[in-house]
Amino acid sequence: MFEIPDIYTLTSGTSEGTSKLGAFDNAILNAGVGNTNLIKLSSILPPRASFRNRIVYPRGVLVPIAYGSISSDVKGETIAASVAIAISADDGFGVIMEYSGITSAEKAEKTARKMAEDAMKHRNVKIKELKSLSSEHIVVNFGCAFAAVPMWYLNLL
């Protein structure tokens, strides 16, 4: 089985690159998760997971992560990505929402926060805390904006 992650952080990054995938690679490096293997989750913060300001991953590990990302090759375009976590007052269970688009960081983050709030409302779960993060980038050649909730295991730190 896959063990349940017990720690998490929020991170974001932006970058140019020499291709769309290259820009993504540079943005995730910039966000501190670029030397790992990202396994994209759809997207719950496990109960009792504890927040860390930063998680340093060994290179090559398989990282459970929720993220929003946008890559673009339209010069001058403003792109943004955001994640938001609505966290329950009870046991720290949370819903993570991602949003990215041709928009500002501020608008992307507002959208992600609203989505996370709606998700908790729909579950009838009271929100204790709403965490969010966003990034914004103006494309030069190939650009990427990335925002994420990477998770990990306390016993592997």
Cα dist from 60 to 24, 38, 56, 69, 139, whole Å? 17, 9, 12, 21, 29
Q: For residues 63 and 98, what is the distance between their CA atoms, to the nearest angstrom?
A: 17
Is-contact 145 98, C-beta < 8 A?
Answer: no
Q: Which of 62, 89, 140, 157 binds a copy of itself (CB under 8 A)?
A: 62
* SS3 category, 56: coil
Q: Which of 13, 32, 64, 150 binds a copy of itself (CB under 8 A)?
A: 64
Per-residue interface string for the shown chain with a copy of itself, residues 39-58, x marking contact by CB under 8 A: xxxxxxxxx-x--------x
Q: Does position 122 bind a copy of itself by CB under 8 A?
A: yes
Report the relative pairing of strands 37-40 and 62-72 from DSSP bridges: parallel
**Which DSSP category does 125 fall into?**
-
Q: Name the one range near a copy of itself by CB under 8 A: 76-84, 101-109, 119-127, 129-137.
A: 119-127
Instruction: Using CB under 8 A, list all residues that contact a copy of itself.
Output: 1-5, 17-19, 21-22, 24-26, 28-29, 35-47, 49, 58-62, 64, 66, 93, 95, 97-99, 111, 114-115, 118-119, 122-123, 153, 156
Query: Which amino acids are annotated catalytic?
Result: 37, 42-43, 98
